[in-house]
Amino acid sequence: MSKTILNPRPNFDDIFMELAKNLARRSHCLKAQVGAVLAKDTRIISIGYNGPPAGTHNCDEEFPETGCPRDAKGSCSLALHAEQNAILYAVKNGSNIEGSTLYITLAPCIACARVIYTMKIQKVLYLDSYAAYKGIGVEEGVEFLRRFGVEVEQYGAGTGVVL
């Protein structure tokens, strides 16, 4: 009788998404905590989480009851998105991110999708729906990226791994 053995070694998608989930916990945002990992060829290039530019303020400390001010669309008017932080840090440090994969806990908004495409990121794996979070009917960022040839998938954990 043969016995099926699950592979105890997680795949890199699982490792990088788990890291993105942990990075999200670093965010000071009261509304949504989002993490991102930028990787290429099984190596991490950069990480990020959503929040205001370094050295400005922390939303949970400066606006503990309400969170930071919102713009006309209900989005944070002070913060950078997790993928923006990961991309900006990589570029600031001279990393080549063309052809990389972005792991993110929330699907990209349309503005971030334009940056992702412009930076020639090849693939995006996201955990949760931005459209559902914002209460809109369309995953605008995902549709934009797919329209212009970026591979985009909603993440599902690999076999044999519990996240």
30, two tokens:
């009261």
Q: Is the pLDDT of residue 7 over 80?
A: no
Q: What is the DSSP string of 62-76?
A: HSTTT-S-B-TTSSB
Q: Is the pLDDT of residue 158 over 90?
A: no
Mean pLDDT of 82-102: 97
pTM above 0.75, yes or no: yes
Q: Check residue 137 and give its pLDDT.
A: 92
45 exposure class (CB count in 10 Å sphere: 0-12, 13-18, 19+): buried
Q: Is residue 111 part of a domain?
A: yes
SS3 143: helix
pLDDT: is 31 or 82 the higher one?
82
| pLDDT tens digits for range 74-83 | 777 778 999 9
- Provide the number of structural domains found in the chain: 1
Q: Is residue 141 part of a domain?
A: yes
Q: Check residue 41 and give its pLDDT.
A: 92
79 exposure class (CB count in 10 Å sphere: 0-12, 13-18, 19+): buried
β-bridge mates for residue 76, sequence order = 70
Domain interval for residue 118: 12-154
CATH number of the structural domain spanning residue 149? 3.40.140.10
Catalytically active residues are 83
Q: Is residue 163 part of a domain?
A: no
β-bridge mates for residue 40, sequence order = 43
